Amino acid sequence: MNAMTSDATPHSSGAQIHASHDVLIVGGGLVGASLAIALDRIGLDVGLIEAAPPGALPAVFDERNLSFAEATLNALDALGVLAKLRAPTGPIRRIHISRRGDFGRTVLEAQRYGREEFGRVVVARDFGEALEARLAELPRLLRYRPVRFVGLADGDEGWRAVRVADGAGERILRTRLLVAADGTRSGVRDALGIGSEQHDYGQTLFVARVRGERTPDGTAYERLGRDGPTALLPRGDRHYGLIHGVATAEADAVAALDEAGFLARAQDAFGWRAGRLLACGARSLYPAIRVLAQRTVAARAVLVGNAAQTIHPIGAQGFNLGLRDAMTLAELIEQQRSAGDADCGSEALLARYLERRREDRERTVGFSDGLARLASNETELMRPLRSLGLFAFDRLASAQSFLVGGAMGYRGDVPALCRNDRAGAAGFDDAASGRRGGRA
């Protein structure tokens, strides 16, 4: 529903309350829309603030290639989103990791862990259309679009008051829980007074669809390098999704290359494991910058997805981590309501959320940052150590399980929608704590 209409009620500050919700989500992108669907399943009154007008997808739903881990696919299947995908997806049956200039490589095979695949490659635009189709089916969700978040207002006890605006002017909404899902440059995070730590890796990532002389066979290639990864992901349309990292200082020159020049550069960085790269579609580029919120909760507010942490895309962990934020929050709200407590923004609930998300967030952020820094380190000492590491990960079952568990989304306390009974079959159970899902 496209709405900014509701019976207004008096507000303590003298302004009018336009509407009240159990949960108000700011941001209708990948994580925000997925959270809205999960909360609707449990009967909540949810408002979703979206900058894009009806009929238009948010800018995040572009030609980027998203690598969905098994845990992510489990959740999206349960939410009814996967069934809405119309374009074919690409299975990831093996992961091939190497580094230019170093010997050794690591190859992870899904069959070795009792799986047909580790995950799937989905084009962001196709995923956005599937989410939109699913959102349109939700009976209770109230969508505010196109509407922008303006700031916070004085709230009554037990509520957060939020200022929003559209073409008709400003309104005030109130909510038991405010969710910031508005991305890396989160306005909600700023309004809450939550600072962030930033690190610029000095890399720019080019993203494109490419055609090679060999049809993708389910192998996802991650070729590490000084200036970032050059990855080839197996799409479902018989093409590859290319991610090519360059030094930021060279990004303008690379962007100016014609198709042949760009393909030659990517070929030189990647090598010939997938054969010759023959053709390239439109290119997009994104800076590789890590942004970590100094805290992820405030009074009756929580940050999820890129608003909480934007990490280096190496290893394709970002959206998978953000979805686990959203699914954990939905699970905790459902558990609390089942126990007879309908206050989904209580201090106790947010404390439980922090505890549930701590390990996954810390370990995933640490893995992504560590791998990015290690891969770009050109000191002479690091090259043999890095090569030995690749060799060890290829040979040692315990080391491989560490990589595989993370690649499949089984880190820390895994939310229920993200797991199933097969999770423990690959050795990802944490028997000591009795948790299902697993640690990697």
What is the pLDDT, as a whole number, of residue 210? 96
Same structural domain for residues 55 and 167?
A: yes
Give the torsion sign (CA, 261, 263, 269, 273). negative
Same structural domain for residues 224 and 266?
A: yes
Give me the CATH number covering residue 31: 3.50.50.60
Report the domain count for the chain. Answer: 2
Q: How far apart (Å, rounded) are the C-alpha atoms in residues 180 and 343?
A: 18
Segments in the chain below pLDDT 50: 1-14, 381-388, 391-392, 421-440
Last residue of a domain, one of 289, 310, 326: 289
User: Could you tell me if residue 436 is inside a domain?
Assistant: no
Contact present, 189 and 229 (Cβ < 8 Å): no
Give me the CATH number covering residue 114: 3.30.9.10
Q: How far apart (Å, rounded) are the C-alpha atoms in residues 276 and 264?
A: 9
Same structural domain for residues 135 and 283?
A: no
Last residue of a domain, one of 248, 271, 289: 289
User: Could you tell me if residue 440 is inside a domain?
Assistant: no
What is the pLDDT, as a whole number, of residue 318? 86
- Classify burial at 396, counting beta carbons within 10 Å of its beta carbon; exposed 0-12, middle 13-18, buried 19 or more: exposed
User: Could you tell me if residue 384 is inside a domain?
Assistant: no
Give the CA angle between residues 373, 316, 421 to the nearest 5°: 125
Same structural domain for residues 155 and 283?
A: no
User: Could you tell me if residue 397 is inside a domain?
Assistant: no
User: Could you tell me if residue 380 is inside a domain?
Assistant: no
Same structural domain for residues 214 and 333?
A: no
Same structural domain for residues 247 and 352?
A: no
Same structural domain for residues 159 and 270?
A: no
What is the pLDDT, as a whole number, of residue 425? 36
Same structural domain for residues 90 and 143?
A: no
pTM: 0.89
User: Could you tell me if residue 422 is inside a domain?
Assistant: no
User: Could you tell me if residue 78 is inside a domain?
Assistant: yes
Same structural domain for residues 234 and 279?
A: yes
Count other C-beta atoms under 10 Å from residue 118's C-beta.
25
**Residue 246 is part of which domain span?**
65-119+201-289
Give the CA angle between residues 426, 68, 203 to the nearest 5°: 115
Same structural domain for residues 144 and 285?
A: no
Last residue of a domain, one of 230, 262, 289: 289
What is the pLDDT, as a whole number, of residue 113? 86
Same structural domain for residues 78 and 176?
A: no
User: Could you tell me if residue 369 is inside a domain?
Assistant: no
Same structural domain for residues 283 and 227?
A: yes
